[in-house]
Amino acid sequence: MEFLSNLVNGISLGSVYAVIALGYTMVYGIARMLNFAHGDIIMVGGYICFIVMTSLGLPSIVGILAAVVVCTILGITIERVAYKPLRSAPSLAVLITAIGVSYLLQNLALLIWGSDPKSFTSVVSMEPLRLFDGSLVITGETIVTIVVSAIIMAALTLFVNRTKVGHAMLAVSEDKGAAQLMGINVNATISLTFAIGSALAAVAGVLLCSAQPSLLPTTGAMPGIKAFVAAVFGGIGSIPGAMIGGVLLGIIEILSKYYISSQISDAIVFAVLIVVLLVRPAGILGKQIREKV
Amino acid sequence: MNLKNISRTTRQNLVTYAIVIVAFAVIQVMSAAGMLSNSLTGQLIPICSYIIMAVSLNLTVGVLGELSLGHAGFMSVGAFSSAFFSVAVGDALPTWLTMILALLIGTAVAGVFGILIGIPVLRLQGDYLAIVTLAFGEIIKNLLNAFYIGIDGSGLHISMKDANALNMDESGRVIIKGAQGITGVNRMSTFTIGFVLVLITLVIVLNLIHSRTGRAIMSIRDNRIAAESVGINVTKYKMIAFTISAALAGMAGALYAHSLATVVAKKFDYNTSILILVFVVVGGMGNIRGSVIAAAILTVLPELLRSFSDYRMLVYAIVLILMMLFKQSPQIRSFCASVWERLRFGRLQAFFDRKKAQNTKKGA
């Protein structure tokens, strides 16, 4: 029973990672850059939702919508201001810029909202589910997280594979130059990718803060990095890969926290990354790309 | 000595050494005259260790061209191993010998970690390498936070649970106490030791850069495939740069640890790695003298501008972004170049006009 409840918690955490990893993987697939600020957009989403719900006293659905809108705008703005001018720059420069943006968001949040943790009110008002005569308790947050993540993943898969805009995204990630020649607006497509990724990050932020109700300017950093690990695990650039990687990573984290040691569970998660990169650098579902000389 | 016979790089290096030596002398005089505030005096050793950190990170980022986000991890390894040694030894050896040995141990252990981590990490490139070094930094921090190491008559006892699980006899002492770190470190570091270490670091790094090895490392940065095709062993030279960088960071950690009474793993986290990266970027990637100056100024400035300290990291973040945009963006660069060209051209024009006027005067 213990194992089962840990497994469910792991899947729940893992589906949040998966939603975050989707943003990473889409941006990486299209812009070929590691968006370090992605994790901090999660944090911004959490804070916006907190303000709308707690300070303004509006219903949770308004909070979630506000978080999604603000994060989408933020994502597009960051792309326009910081990343777009560097599209042809070496990856080291883009990476350092992304770290700068991440740091900027964290420190702005620190100045605006202070360093004391805010206690986030859960957006879920569902009764916990009791199975097997109460020996397995699944909280409402867990259920909602898993369901919402599953819906997001399904919708995103349909969007990318079935719509014209989705095909444009696939084309840009395959070959920017050729896509442009086929009449695809590459800049708009990249902006759209950032918008979708940031909106997903906002949802992930609300889900994450509902499950772990303490909000800090650094809340997003760790989940962001772990979601990147998940994206690499599943194969960066691949949408189903991000989902599988996220869920697996969540399960690994919760199980190692429970059965090995809570202090070194992060170390184990990162060790997974290193092992994956050594054994199969392309990840579970990634394509092995040969380097052209 | 005839200065003209010395090559340009040597002259440049001598200027760097001279800056450091003069700065040291000035600070010594000021401190003897009582012109330094207490808080500034307390910053002297951290400045030295940050300079060493920045110079060593510059070796990885600027010279090798790979981004390392776990540099503080090596500092942490050096700090813990050296502090462990000096606390374990206690008063058994004379202070100066303990300090030298502690520094050597910190350097060596961090160097070994550099090799161990470098083997898997350096097979990767770019973004992957950056994220894996970040992962290693976090792993080191996590493990050090969970470690308990004690020493007694029968040797070392290691546990990852708590101090009681060490099972030591009565003479046993717990040295590394998990998240509490190492307490009771003898504060042996002095500004002079820091200064000497900075000089040693500079000698090592500058000589490395201008050697055959250094040129091989830079060729990997500029074009890995071309370097490989002219027979440069990419992995070997990457390893050399990475290991030296790690070992120097360990030395900085050992210096830093012995300026504190308590060493905790929390001090060497991701934020420290980023801070060092800011020093390197602001000083100029690949520019060693820049790293020295940036590390010194950016450590002292917040101390001088207390009211500004809340905004310090915010400003650093903005500086990081702007530096990259101005250096790398083609549009912004061409705009700056045109402005600069106009300014310079204007100035040159004025210069030539003046010259012409003088010549005509002479002719007449």
| B320 contact residues in A (CB cutoff 8 A) | 96-97, 99-100, 103
Best mutation site among A27, A81, A270 for testing chain B: the one with the most B CBs within 10 Å?
A270
- Report the pLDDT value the prediction gives residue A70, as an integer from 0 to 100: 93
DSSP secondary structure letter of residue A83: I
Residue in A closest to B282 by C-alpha? A96
- pLDDT exceeds cutoff 80 at A281: no
Q: A107 in helix, strand or coil?
A: helix
- pLDDT, position A290: 61
Decide: residue B63, CB within 10 A, 0-12 exposed, 13-18 middle, 19+ buried: buried
What is the C-alpha separation between A90 and B65, in angstroms, rounded? Answer: 10
CA-based nearest residue to B57, from B305, B259, B342, B279 = B279
Give percent above pLDDT 90 in chain A. 10
Structural contact between residues A127 and A140, judged by C-beta atoms closer than 8 angstroms? yes
- Does residue B326 belong to the interface with chain A, where contact is any CB pair within 8 Å? no
Q: Rounded to a whole number, what is the distance in Å from the CA of A233 to chain B's nearest CA?
A: 12
Residue A103 to residue B320, Cβ atoms within 8 A: yes
Nearest CB among A91, A97, A103 relative to B126 is that of A91
- Note the Cα B244 to chain centre separation in Å: 11
Distance CA A218, CA A209 (A): 12
Query: What's the pLDDT score for residue B309?
Result: 65
CA distance A90 to chain B (A): 8
Q: Which of B266, B314, B324 to mutate to test the interface with A (most CBs of A within 10 A)?
A: B324
> Rounded mean pLDDT of B209-232?
90
Q: Which residues of A touch B123 (CB under 8 A)?
A: 278
Return residues 247-276 of B near A (CB < 8 Å): 270, 274
Please tell me the distance from the alpha carbon of residue B300 to that of residue B326, in angstroms, as a whole number: 25
Task: Quote the minimal CA–CA distance from A60 to chain B in Å.
Answer: 31
**What is the Cα–Cα distance from B188 to B102, expressed in whole angstroms?**
10
Among A37-46, A97-106, A140-149, name the one with the lowest average pLDDT. Answer: A140-149
B52: pLDDT confidence band, cut at 50, 70 and 90? very high
Q: What is the pLDDT of residue B44?
A: 86
Across chain A, what does the average pLDDT equal?
Answer: 84
Whether residue A277 and residue B138 make contact (CB cut-off 8 A), yes or no, is: no
Would you say residue A270 has pLDDT above 90?
no
pLDDT over 70 (residue A166): yes
- The residue to which tokens 């805010």 are assigned: A118
Q: Scanning every residue of chain A, which has its alpha carbon at the shortest distance from the alpha carbon of B120?
A: A278
- pLDDT at residue B58, as a whole number: 92
| Percentage, residues of chain B above pLDDT 70 | 87
Least Cα distance to A201 among A46, A33, A2 occurs for A46
pLDDT of residue A2 exceeding 70, the answer is yes
- Chains A, B: CB contacts within 8 A come to 125
Question: pLDDT at position B108, please?
Answer: 94
Average pLDDT estimate for B140-144: 86
Chain B residues inside the 8 Å CB shell of A273? 131-132, 135
Nearest CA-CA distance, residue A108 and chain B, Å:
7
Band the pLDDT of B305: cuts 50, 70, 90. Answer: low
CATH of domain B3-314: 1.10.3470
CA gyration radius, chain B: 24
Chain B residue with the nearest C-alpha to that of A81: B325
Confidence bin at B205 (pLDDT 50/70/90): very high
Q: Phi and psi (nearest 5°) for B176?
A: -100, 120
Residue B298 has pLDDT above 60, yes or no: yes
Say how far apart CA A245 and CA A226 lie, in whole Å: 10
A110 sits in which H/E element: helix A91-113
Q: Is the pLDDT of residue A69 over 90?
A: yes
Q: Give the residue among B154, B152, B155, B145 at the shortest CA–CA distance from B176.
A: B145
Chain A residue closest in CA terms to B273: A99
Give the H or E element holding residue A204. Answer: helix A186-211
User: pLDDT-based confidence at B262, cuts 50/70/90?
Assistant: confident
pTM of the model: 0.82
Digit-coded pLDDT (tens) for A197-210: 999 999 988 888 88
Query: Are the CB atoms for A14 and A153 separated by under 8 Å?
Result: no
Q: What are phi and psi of B182, to 5 degrees?
A: -105, 125
| Residue B168 pLDDT greater than 80, yes or no | no
Residue B37 has pLDDT above 90, yes or no: no
Q: Which chain B residue's Cα is nearest to A103?
A: B317
pLDDT tier for residue B167 given thresholds of 50, 70 and 90: low
Q: How confident is the model at residue B117 (pLDDT cuts 50, 70, 90)?
A: confident
Q: Residue B54: its pLDDT value, please?
A: 93
- For residue A64, count other CB atoms closer than 10 A to its CB: 22
Residue B163 confidence class, pLDDT cut points 50, 70, 90: low
Window from B20-34, B112-126, B305-319 with minimum mean pLDDT = B305-319
Asked whether residue B248 carries a pLDDT value surpassing 90, the answer given is: yes
| Overall average pLDDT of the B116-133 stretch | 80
Closest CA to B168 of B150, B146, B147: B150
Contacts of residue B355, defined as CB under 8 A and 6 or more positions apart, other chains included, come to none
Tens of pLDDT, residues A243-262: 888 999 999 988 888 887 77
**Closest CA of chain A from B32, distance in Å:** 39
Coil, strand or helix at A130:
strand
- Residue B261 CA: distances (Å) to CA of B86, B181, B183: 12, 11, 6
| Chain B: closest CA distance from residue A155 (Å) | 29
* Interface predicted TM-score (ipTM): 0.79
Considering only CB atoms, A273 lies closest to which of B61, B132, B318, namely B132
Band (A5; pLDDT cuts 50, 70, 90): confident
Distance between CA atoms of residues A266 and A69, nearest Å = 32
Mean pLDDT of A267-283: 81
**B324 vs A100, A106, A270: nearest CB:** A100
What pLDDT, on the 0 to 100 scale, is given for residue A77?
92
Q: Give pLDDT, residue B350.
A: 66
Confidence class for position B345, pLDDT limits 50, 70, 90: low
- Distance from A89 to chain B by nearest Cα, in Å? 6
What is the Cα–Cα distance from A191 to A84, expressed in whole angstroms? 9
Task: Report the pLDDT value the prediction gives residue B67, as an integer from 0 to 100.
Answer: 86
Res B165: pLDDT: 66
Q: In percent, how much of chain A has pLDDT > 70?
A: 95
Q: Which of B146, B317, B331 is nearest residue A100 as measured by Cβ atoms? A: B317
* Predicted pLDDT at B215: 92
Q: What is the pLDDT of residue B352?
A: 66
CA distance B87 to chain A (A): 25
A74-109 pLDDT, tens digit each = 999 999 888 888 887 877 788 888 888 998 998 888
Q: Tell me the residues of chain B between 144 and 183 that have a Cβ less than 8 Å away from chain A.
A: 145-146, 160
Per-residue pLDDT for B82 more than 80? yes
* Cβ–Cβ contact B131 with A under 8 A: yes
Closest residue, chain B, to A115 (C-alpha): B310
Select from B224, B325, B336 the residue whose CB has the most chain A CBs within 10 Å, as the one to mutate to test that interface. B325
Q: Which chain B residue is nearest to residue A224, measuring alpha carbons?
A: B131
Q: Which of A19-28, A199-208, B141-150, B207-216 has the weakest average pLDDT? A: B141-150
Q: What is the mean pLDDT of residues B135-164?
A: 78
CB atoms within 10 A of CB A174: 11
Percent of chain B with pLDDT over 90: 21
Q: How far is B68 from chain A, CA to nearest CA, in Å?
A: 10
Residue B252: the pLDDT is 93
Quick one: pLDDT band at residue B307, thresholds 50, 70, 90? low
Whether chain A has a CB inside 8 Å of the CB on B234: the answer is no
Q: Which of B61, B121, B131, B229 to substitute to test the interface with A, most A CBs within 10 Å?
A: B131
